[in-house]
């Protein structure tokens, strides 16, 4: 399908207000900005940030009259895809069984700049997706009217079939051969008497998960692919000092040993062969310091580091007040521990890169891979899969770059797999935190004043969520603040 957007753009919904405010925020407005962002994180679904000018990038209609929705959000296990199917079925007038939902690839789909996270996918797409579905139905009715010779306003729809004047035509038949679409104004949405929304239905991914269909990142395959593992240092800040790969590179099935700045990769004909060769490698690491958890905890203490007030209201508590209660506690380093370890399948050539992986950020991953290999982002196709758990772990996708690096080295597609041990050892950990909470009780024993002092390393700042450029505006880690408050 191609488009005709002379009358109006097809469902372009932006969030320039929010991002614009953050971009021009100055030091004077940092505290209000921080509080506003915390409130948004706590109570509001973010505005959908994708571009919706291509109808075919949202929907595909198959020959058997099924609807495939290319979702700008990924499925991490919460059932978002099923909710999307309910919304589509409601406004497009099809059954749940007629709908399939897949994660949109960057080359063919609409990618949401807000990525996927915060359990806000359904809230963020609640109105846009329903508007999109209702508009798509009207577009199909217009085309059906042309083919049936009937005014589209006199046509009715039911379960993907358009009827009028004693004639019927399926959605897929109406769409067949259409090269230029007429895009009407969005019709009114349903306000009540929902048929699917709010009703208990079987999850659309239930059968695939029960029967073990290959829907996750670690299931992905490409023709003629090889397998790879990467050996990384077990100590913070370590770098490679010396590598002896004499035995490993001649081991059974090994195709190539690849040495990078801070890791050594083994590419082999099978995953088992790559693992076996790992034990034949001898790597000497330069370790500047062997940190202990106790030392890290000691660094992260209230009173150390850069102080930043997130919110200040009322009078400061008096430590000598007999009605004051103080509590001190801490939280440990935390790994994400999602069920599915990370991994990626990558194929590199001089003009095109394809990466299949579990990711919450297909658009950002596309940008990072394109930059790393000096290639136009349009020539990088990131294909997201179902996620075997996310929790923010899939926001960091450096392993996509690693997989592409290995594919480039051997000239074939490569499947790079994290072992469970590697997943825990090389996670992006939640830092330990230290807290001192003070409260004053009134004469009735109720809390009257509260102070919460806490220390932590950054969680969101410097990550794919909040670039370092925004740190000067926010002054503190909003991701951490939202969690703690």
Tokens of 370: 């394109």
**DSSP string covering 413-439, please?**
-EEEE--HHHHHHT--PBPPEEEEEEE
pLDDT at residue 6 in the model: 33
For domain 1-213, give its CATH number from 3.30.70.120, 3.30.365.10, 1.10.10.10, 3.30.930.10.
Answer: 3.30.365.10
- For residues 304 and 242, what is the distance between their CA atoms, to the nearest angstrom? 37
> 143 near 151, Cβ under 8 Å?
no
- Residue with tokens 């940092």, as numbered in its chain: 30
- For residues 107 and 377, what is the distance between their CA atoms, to the nearest angstrom? 9
| Whether pTM exceeds 0.95 | no
Angle at 391 between CA 436 and CA 237, to 5 degrees: 70
- Name beta bridge partners: 283: 243
pLDDT at residue 165 in the model: 94
The total of other beta-carbon atoms located within 10 Å of residue 326's CB is 11
pLDDT at residue 82 in the model: 98
pLDDT at residue 268 in the model: 98
- For residues 478 and 456, what is the distance between their CA atoms, to the nearest angstrom? 12
pLDDT at residue 24 in the model: 27
3-state secondary structure of 27: helix
Sequence-distant (6+) residues with CB within 8 A of 324 are: 317, 318, 438, 439, 440, 441
Beta strands in 298-396 (DSSP E): 324-331, 343-348, 353-357, 380-384
Q: Which of 146, 147, 165 is nearest to 155 (CA)?
A: 165
- Residue with tokens 């690849």, as numbered in its chain: 258
Q: Describe the crossing of helices 30-43 and 16-24 by its angle, rounded to 10 degrees.
A: 150
Q: Which of 128, 125, 157, 124 is nearest to 143 (CA)?
A: 157
- For residues 61 and 162, what is the distance between their CA atoms, to the nearest angstrom? 14
3-state secondary structure of 331: strand
pLDDT at residue 473 in the model: 56
Specify the pairing of strand 167-170 against strand 161-164: antiparallel
pLDDT at residue 469 in the model: 56
Q: No. of H helices and E strands in the chain?
A: 14, 18
- Name beta bridge partners: 440: 324, 449
> 435 near 329, Cβ under 8 Å?
yes
Delimit the domains of the chain by residue range: 1-213, 218-287+341-425, 298-334+429-484
> 65 near 97, Cβ under 8 Å?
no
Q: What is the mean pLDDT of each run of 10 residues along the chain (485 residues)?
A: 37 30 28 41 51 66 91 94 97 97 89 82 90 92 96 97 97 89 89 93 95 95 97 92 97 97 95 97 95 89 84 84 92 92 95 96 94 95 95 91 98 96 88 93 89 85 63 56 40
pLDDT at residue 471 in the model: 56
**Within 13 Å, how many C-alpha atoms sit on residue 97's CB side?**
2
Beta strands in 349-465 (DSSP E): 353-357, 380-384, 414-417, 433-441, 447-456
218-287+341-425 is classed CATH 3.30.365.10: yes
> 439 near 328, Cβ under 8 Å?
no
**DSSP string covering 140-182, please?**
HHHHHHHHHTS-GGG-EEETTEEEETTEEEEHHHHHTT--S--
Q: Examine domains 1-213 and 218-287+341-425 and report if their fold is the same.
A: yes
């Amino acid at each position: 399908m191609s488009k005709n957007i002379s009358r109006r753009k097809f469902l372009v919904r932006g969030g320039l207000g929010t991002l614009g405010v953050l971009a021009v925020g100055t030091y004077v407005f940092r505290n209000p900005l921080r509080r506003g962002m915390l409130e948004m994180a706590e109570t509001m679904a973010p505005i959908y940030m994708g571009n919706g000018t291509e109808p075919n990038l949202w929907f595909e209609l198959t020959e058997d009259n099924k609807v495939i929705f290319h979702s700008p959000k990924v499925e991490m296990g919460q059932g978002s895809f099923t909710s999307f199917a309910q919304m589509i079925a409601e406004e497009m007038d099809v059954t749940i069984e007629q709908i399939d939902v897949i994660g949109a690839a960057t080359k063919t789909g609409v990618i949401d700049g807000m990525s996927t996270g915060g359990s806000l996918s359904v809230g963020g797409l609640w109105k846009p997706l329903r508007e999109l579905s209702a508009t798509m139905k009207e577009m199909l009715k217009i085309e059906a009217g042309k083919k049936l010779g009937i005014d589209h306003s006199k046509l009715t729809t039911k379960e993907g079939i358009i009827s009028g004047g004693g004639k019927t035509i399926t959605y897929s038949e109406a769409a067949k051969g259409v090269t230029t679409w007429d895009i009407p104004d969005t019709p009114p949405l349903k306000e009540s008497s929902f048929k699917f929304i709010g009703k208990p239905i079987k999850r659309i991914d239930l059968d695939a998960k029960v029967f073990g269909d290959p829907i996750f990142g670690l299931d992905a395959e490409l023709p003629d692919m090889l397998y790879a593992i990467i050996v990384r240092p077990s100590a913070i800040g370590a770098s490679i000092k010396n590598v002896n790969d004499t035995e490993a590179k001649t081991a059974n099935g090994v195709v190539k040993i690849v040495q990078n700045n801070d890791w050594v990769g083994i590419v082999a004909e099978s995953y088992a062969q790559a693992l076996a060769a790992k034990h034949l490698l001898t790597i000497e690491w330069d370790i500047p310091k062997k940190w202990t958890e106790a030392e890290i905890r000691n660094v992260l203490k209230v009173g150390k580091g850069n102080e930043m007030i997130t919110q200040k209201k009322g009078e400061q508590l008096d430590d000598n007040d007999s009605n004051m209660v103080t509590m001190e506690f801490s939280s440990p380093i935390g790994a994400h521990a999602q069920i599915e370890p990370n991994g990626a399948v990558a194929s590199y050539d001089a003009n095109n890169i394809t990466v299949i992986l579990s990711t919450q950020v297909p658009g950002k991953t596309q940008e990072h891979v394109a930059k790393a290999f000096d290639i136009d982002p349009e020539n990088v196709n990131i294909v997201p899969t179902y996620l075997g758990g996310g929790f923010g772990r899939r926001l960091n996708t450096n392993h996509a770059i690693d997989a592409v690096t290995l594919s480039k080295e051997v000239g074939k597609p490569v499947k790079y797999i994290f072992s469970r041990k590697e997943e825990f050892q090389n996670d992006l950990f939640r830092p330990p935190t230290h807290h001192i909470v003070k409260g004053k009780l009134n004469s009735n024993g109720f809390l009257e004043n509260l102070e919460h002092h806490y220390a932590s390393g950054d969680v969101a700042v410097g990550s794919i969520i909040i670039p370092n450029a925004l740190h000067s505006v926010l002054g503190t880690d909003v991701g951490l603040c939202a969690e703690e408050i």
